[in-house]
Amino acid sequence: MTTTRPDTKTALARLLTEIEHRNPAQPEFHQAAREVLETLAPVLAARPEYAEPGLVERLVEPERQVVFRVPWQDDRGRVHVNRGFRVEFNSALGPYKGGLRFHPSVNLGVIKFLGFEQIFKNALTGLGIGGGKGGSDFDPRGRSDAEVMRFCQSFMTELYRHIGEHTDVPAGDIGVGGREIGYLFGQYRRITNRWEAGVLTGKGAGWGGSLIRPEATGYGNVLFAAAMLRERGEDLEGQTTVVSGSGNVAIYTIEKLIALGANPVTCSDSSGYVVDEKGIDVDLLKQVKEVERGRVDTYAERRGASARFVPGGRVWEVPADVALPSATQNELDAQDAAALVRNGVKAVSEGANMPATPDAVHLLQQAGVAFGPGKAANAGGVAVSALEMAQNHARTSWPAARVEDELAAIMTSIHTTCHETATRYGTPGDYVTGANIAGFERVADAMLAQGVI
């Protein structure tokens, strides 16, 4: 085990204070930076060259931050003005890569937290992609297709200046699915007069998208959870699981859990959660959420006696062997973690970005629960996005089986890397430390090689 020099910890603490001072009122970014920096002292002590050129100081400062106005008209002719963001955080390993989020909660701090996480997540895939993120405080819920189209066209009219297949490649995230990606791509093509398929990922399979991309984040998270259980001599088959959310990530998490023999019994949205004693009917959930854009109480009504809707409840109060938070940041707090531990949870794997609070993570780790951090566990989405980029460059399309095999290999590699790195630095079983250090080392080596830029 590496002995950490006191001055290393002091320098990191001083940097955290500076980050909070320079980025006021951005608690999510502060949280993400703290979670990473608090694990880096051992690697900085072991490899002092990382501390010499102000490398960590450059890593926590985005290379570029773009904020812009997005005016658009609703169906009644009323003009609305939203705010758009793109934070291009680090391109040492390749073009910036990260999704676009359309949600009222979006602000610069949220986008910076997501972009910072993306640096390490993308590095862990082993693929040539840097870290970035973007979005808007626009809410697509309740809006017509025509209104969403007009917003996306206005958004891309500014964003197109900053992206490109060799520069920055956005994808989807919360509030940005196939419909939104289609409108965004159409406007990019209209403005630039280029069929540049690699500029956006998450496209339709018939016009440059990759098979398995919609499923990738959820599938990958389940594969990571399964790998953590195997490390402990267990298997997912027969395990009762709780999943939060009912969007893309949650739906395909549930689908993969069922395929591997587990029993997912919950889903949720902002109105509350459903617990289904027979296990979630994924086809019914897809119909309600993806086709009808309805709420989970509708699922419960149609499912019958086995399902009940709990308005405003916390999905984590349902007893389970494995928990997969798949909704949004900070959705699982210390009280929720305590409930999971009391009910005998064995593993928690993050499908969303930073869904567990720091106190919750600490409590779960102290209780001996296998904990998979989002930057490792949910990297399957961006991994298949990078595979989509590869298909676009070759003007080809891979069969679903090949993409799924590639995804499985990448998730296995990420688990192995995190596990071995944690052991190498004296914290066996700590996937948070393993993910942070492994991602950091890959990015840091590239930054050192490329000079102070």
Strand order in the sheet with 370-372: 263-264, 240-243, 322-324, 347-349, 370-372
Q: Parallel, antiparallel, or unpaired for β 322-324 and 347-349? A: parallel
Q: Tell me which residue has tokens 């072991």.
A: 46
Is the distance from CB of 418 to CB of 376 less than 8 angstroms? yes
Among 97, 112, 121, 133, the one annotated catalytic? 133
CB 244 within 8 A of CB 233: no
CA quadruple 293, 114, 377, 214: dihedral sign: positive
Q: How far is Cα 87 from Cα 132, in angstroms, rounded to an integer?
A: 6
Query: Residue 82: in which H helix or E strand, if any?
Result: strand 79-90
**Residue 212 in contact with residue 384, Cβ under 8 Å?**
yes
Is residue 121 annotated as a catalytic residue, yes or no?
A: no
Helix (H, G, I), strand (E, B) or coil at 217: helix
Task: Give the span between the Cα atoms of 211 and 118, in whole angstroms.
Answer: 22
Q: How far apart (Å, rounded) are the C-alpha atoms in residues 179 and 21? A: 39
DSSP symbol at 174: T
**Residue keyed to tokens 């964003």:** 159
Inter-axis angle of helices 431-450 and 27-37, nearest 10: 90
Single out the residue of 205, 241, 390 nearest to residue 318, CA to CA.
241
Helices (H), strands (E): how many in the chain? 17, 13
**Contact of 380 with 195, CB cutoff 8 Å:** no
Q: In this structure, are residues 398 and 387 in contact, taking their beta carbons and an 8 Å threshold?
A: yes
**Residue 41 near residue 427, CB atoms below 8 Å:** no
- Residue 288 gets which letter from DSSP? I
**Alpha carbons 210 and 247: distance in angstroms, whole number:** 19
Q: Which residues are catalytic?
A: 133
